[in-house]
Every structure is written in C-alpha cells, then in structure tokens.
Amino acid sequence: MINQSTPPRLIVFSGAGLSADSGIPTFRDENGLWHNHNVDQVANGLTWKANWNLVRQFYNDRRTSLDTVEPNAMHYTIAAWEKKYHTQILTQNIDDLLERAGCEHVVHLHGKLTEMRCEACGHKWDIGHTSIGETDRCINVPKCQSLKGVRPNIVFFNEHAPNYRIMYESLRHLNKTDCVVVIGTSGIVINLDSLLFDSPCLKILNNLESGPGIDETIYDHVIFDRASKSADQLNDLVNNHMSRYM
Ligand code: NAD
Ligand code: ZN
C-alpha cells in the first residue's frame, strides 16, 4: 500500500559527467585526469601533507577556474525539480555549478572546492573562487591559526566521507512513487547498483556512454548522451512520473 500522505521523493545523484558540458573535465574520460595530474598525488588522504605545495596549487587552479565556467541545462533542470518536488540532491562533484544554477540544498558527498577546513580545530570557511597561499593560516582567530592543518574541504581517497550517511539514508525505503535519477557517473568511486537493484522506485540513468562500473539493466530508462542535451528528455521522464503521484 502506498502512503498517499507522503509526497513522492526525487533523488538526484550526480558525478563529474554532469559538469563536463560546462567545461570541467571528468576524471576518467579520454581527456580526464585534471591537467595531467595524478589523482593519487593530489587527492590522497595519506600523502596530502607531504605533497602540500602540489595539492594547494592543484586545488587553487581548480577553484579559480570556476570563474570561467557556467552551469549547463542539466544543472538548471535539477534546480527546477528542487523547486517543484520533494527533492534530495546528492553530488560527488566538488564544483559549485548546482548552487549557481539555483539549487538550495546540495549534499556534496566529496566536499566543496570553495571551502577550506582546518584539521587542527575543525573550523570550515568559504573562500569562493580564490587561491590560498603557502603561509595562509586557519582563520579561527584567536583560538587556532594553525598553518599545517589548513586544507581544502574535500574528501580525499583513503578518507572517511561523512556525508555518505545522508546518501545511504536517502536511498533506504524508497517506494514506487519515488524516483532516482543518476547523471554522469562511472560508478567507480560510488556504486549505487547494490542499493538500487531491488528498489521499486523509478530509476533513470544518464551517462555519455555505457561503462563497466554500472549495471545498466537495473534502470528503467537509460539515456546515453551528453547531460546538457538530455535535460529535456530527463525532465519529461521525471515530470511524468512525479505528476502521477502528486
Ligand atoms: P568519472 O570521471 O569516474 O565518470 C564520469 C562519467 O560521466 C562517465 O560515466 C561518463 O560516461 C560520464 N560523462 C562524461 N561526460 C558526460 C556528459 N557530457 N554528459 C553525461 N555524462 C557524461 O566521474 P565520477 O563517477 O563522478 O567519479 C569521479 C570522482 O571525481 C568523484 O569523486 C568526483 O568527486 C570527482 N570529480 C569531480 C568533478 C567536479 O566536481 N566537476 C570533476 C571531476 C572529478
Ligand atoms: Zn584551526
């Protein structure tokens, strides 16, 4: 029995492919590996301190280059869904394009490029699209001011991802009135197959192409095309489904 008092839920789960059409390279596609860096060197929880100059420069470049990109049609479509439906936006992306398209509540599973964090005191702060310098300290004055604790507020490989808890919670107990839309992810870092395969919700996948990391057979609709080009088709599928249960 469907509980009609509970509005249908829309869960949007995105990866690097969502922002690829805005000009932010993905990790694993042909032109991936941002600026030919090795992700193990620049995003590794075990080595970032030893590589701090490289790590700092790498994220400074990513952060300042956010000034040169804009949200694409898919980001705006997601923002419109959030206004219309009971929506949970989960993203692996560290860019701010969803927010800039108008999304109000975005769960960044791997942190945010625009934020710094201090490992010494736990303080977090926004630095927008600016660079941080070699001598920049924690801004938690006068309590902390640590130099060595300052880092991007990004989840590196080999680190705990505190927001995964929100993701697991969101994907539990979905019913047939709910809808999950997965956009632009290889499934290699986070794989939703085991969470979604027996869920009765409507499942929609959009990727550029088929890949080994995702079992496409568990999805009700699969669209292989650029996210920005697929926005209208995804919008129709989501609107058709959600309007049946509103
Ligand atoms: P990934 O690089 O492993 O996979 C990219 C996926 O996107 C592939 O499945 C590919 O088919 C698809 N894709 C590529 N171009 C597309 C397009 N134009 N439209 C639709 N789909 C497209 O990315 P991932 O699964 O997100 O995992 C990589 C990790 O890299 C994540 O943890 C993420 O934090 C990080 N990352 C983030 C950004 C960003 O913030 N924009 C960019 C690169 C990597
Ligand atoms: Zn501090």
CB 93 within 8 A of CB 103: no
User: Which amino acid does the sequence have at 110?
Assistant: H
- 146 CA to middle of ligand 1, Å? 33
Query: Which amino acids bring their CB within 6 angstroms of ligand 1?
Result: 15-17, 19-21, 24, 26-29, 32, 92-95, 110, 184-186, 188-189, 206-209, 211, 226-227
pLDDT at 26: 87
**Is 129 annotated as catalytic?**
no
Mutate to test the pocket of ligand 1, among 106, 112, 183, 185 (most ligand atoms within 8 A of CB): 185
- 157 CA to middle of ligand 2, Å? 22
Ligand 1 atom having least distance to the Cα of 14:
26
> Does the predicted model carry a pTM greater than 0.85?
yes
Distance set, CA 121 to CA 52, 132, 147 (Å): 19, 18, 11
Verify cis geometry, omega within 30 degrees of 0, for the bond prior to 200.
no
CB atoms within 10 A of CB 53: 9
Ligand 1 atom having least distance to the Cα of 34:
43
- Of the candidates 71, 73, 76, which has an alpha carbon nearest to the alpha carbon of residue 23? 71
Ligand 1 atom having least distance to the Cα of 16:
26
The neighbouring-strand residues paired with 10 are 87, 179
- 139 CA to middle of ligand 2, Å? 7
pLDDT at 25: 87
pLDDT at 32: 56
How many angstroms separate the CA atoms of 165 and 150, rounded?
A: 25
Q: Which residues surround ligand 2, an ion (CB under 5 A)?
A: 118, 120-121, 123, 138, 140, 144, 146
Residues 6+ apart with CB under 8 A from 167: 13, 90, 107, 109, 190
Q: Considering every ligand atom, which ligand is closest to the CA of 121?
A: 2
pLDDT at 35: 54
Task: Tell the residue number behind the tokens 């979604």, with chain if given.
Answer: 196
pLDDT at 1: 45
Distance set, CA 2 to CA 5, 110, 142 (Å): 9, 34, 55
pLDDT by residue, tens only, the chain of 246 residues? 455 568 999 999 999 999 999 999 887 666 655 556 788 889 999 999 999 999 999 999 999 999 999 999 999 999 999 999 999 999 999 999 999 999 999 999 999 999 999 999 999 999 999 999 999 999 999 999 999 999 999 999 999 999 999 999 999 999 999 999 999 999 999 999 999 999 999 999 999 999 999 999 999 999 999 999 999 999 999 999 999 998
- 57 CA to middle of ligand 2, Å? 20
